[in-house]
């Protein structure tokens, strides 16, 4: 059963230094939410993170629809922003990694992936929401699974069964007996470790960033009492600094996620591992 965030918030806002209560440090309860609809015990429910994911999807679709529903040769401000973002991912990520000829067909997938991940990260610093959806492992895991399925499918489609095995394992007879050990390690690394690290890299960064923001935010309020006010000011400055840093990390993590996705696709299309 998840923690009740209203009870947690009440405890945190009522607690100050010198009041005889301990510091209400953020923990796993900070990432658990009561269902907005349904029953949490039955695993059939709708909660805050699902709502943010849905709203984020609507915002992204709505933004690009509004930008390109009536495209002009001389673009307006909204179209210009959308074109800049689209072109940055197309040329700076897809073309640079996969190549223009092979990569063009994957541009819509990578662009959608980038902006979805970025939006899910951005919720962390948006008032009222203030929670990165990607700090819940299931969301990065599903996105990494989509990339994984795309990579495996392309590998077998392009190279066939034997060629796909060689592509994934890098099997080389010239290595002798070591070739089998190297092939096993590569097989384990690519088929099992790769999707895991792809998801965890995004999840861990967003989880850690949100925890730090919570830590300094709660500390600012907790120290707001007596001589602790001076320290509360320092903690509040750190909230601002961490928010700006988190804004940078959110974009970087979205970029890294799609860059790795393009690298995997490029590997699937390449003749050699």
Range of the domain at 181: 5-269
Report the C-alpha gap between 82 and 69 in whole angstroms: 12
pTM: 0.88
At residue 16, the pLDDT reads 79
Angle between helix axes 138-169 and 178-188 (nearest 10 degrees) is 160
Instruction: Report d(CA 249, CA 243) in Å as an integer.
Output: 10
DSSP letters spanning the chain:
----HHHHHHHHHH--TTTT-------GGGG----SEEEGGGTEEE-HHHHHHHHHHHHHHHHHHHHHSS--SS--HHHHHHHHHHHHHIIIIIIHHT-HHHHGGGHHHHHHHHHHHHHHHHGGGSTTT---GGGSTHHHHHHHHHHHHHHHHHHHHHHHHHHHHHHHH---GGGTTHHHHHHHHHHHIIIIIHHHHHHHHHHHHHHHHHHHHHHHHHHHHHT-SGGGHHHHHHHHHHHHHHHHHHHHHHHHHHHHHHHHHHHHHHHHHSS--
Q: Summarize pLDDT for 143-171 with one digit per residue, the tens.
A: 999 999 999 999 999 999 888 888 888 87
Radius of gyration over every alpha carbon of the chain, rounded to an integer in angstroms = 23
Query: Looking at the 3D structure of the chain, how many domains does it have?
Result: 1
pLDDT at 55 over 60: yes
Please, which pLDDT band fits residue 11 given cuts at 50, 70 and 90?
Answer: very low
Q: Does residue 239 contact residue 126 with C-beta atoms inside 8 Å?
A: no
The answer to whether residue 135 scores a pLDDT higher than 80 is: yes
**pLDDT reported for residue 172:** 79
């Amino acid at each position: 059963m998840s923690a009740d965030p209203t009870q947690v918030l009440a405890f945190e806002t009522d607690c100050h230094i010198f009041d005889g209560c301990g510091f209400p440090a953020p923990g796993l309860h900070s990432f658990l939410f009561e269902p907005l609809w349904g029953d949490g015990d039955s695993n059939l429910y709708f909660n805050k993170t699902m709502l943010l994911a849905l709203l984020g999807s609507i915002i992204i679709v709505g933004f690009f629809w509004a930008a390109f529903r009536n495209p002009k040769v001389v673009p307006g401000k909204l179209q210009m922003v959308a074109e800049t973002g689209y072109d940055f991912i197309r040329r700076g990520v897809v073309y640079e990694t996969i190549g223009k000829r092979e990569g063009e067909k994957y541009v819509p997938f990578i662009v959608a992936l980038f902006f979805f991940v970025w939006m899910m990260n951005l919720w962390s610093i948006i008032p009222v929401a203030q929670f990165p959806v990607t700090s819940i492992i299931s969301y990065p895991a599903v996105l990494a699974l989509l990339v994984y399925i795309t990579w495996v499918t392309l590998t077998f489609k392009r190279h066939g069964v034997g060629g796909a095995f060689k592509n994934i394992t890098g099997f080389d007879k010239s290595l002798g007996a070591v070739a089998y050990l190297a092939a096993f390690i590569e097989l384990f690394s690519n088929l099992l470790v790769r999707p895991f690290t792809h998801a965890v890299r995004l999840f861990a960064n967003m989880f850690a960033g949100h925890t730090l923001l919570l830590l300094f935010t709660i500390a600012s309020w907790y120290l707001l009492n007596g001589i602790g006010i001076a320290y509360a000011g320092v903690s509040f400055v750190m909230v601002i600094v961490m928010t700006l840093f988190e804004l940078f990390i959110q974009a970087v993590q979205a970029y890294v996620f799609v860059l790795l996705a393009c690298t995997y696709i490029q590997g699937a299309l390449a003749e050699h591992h």
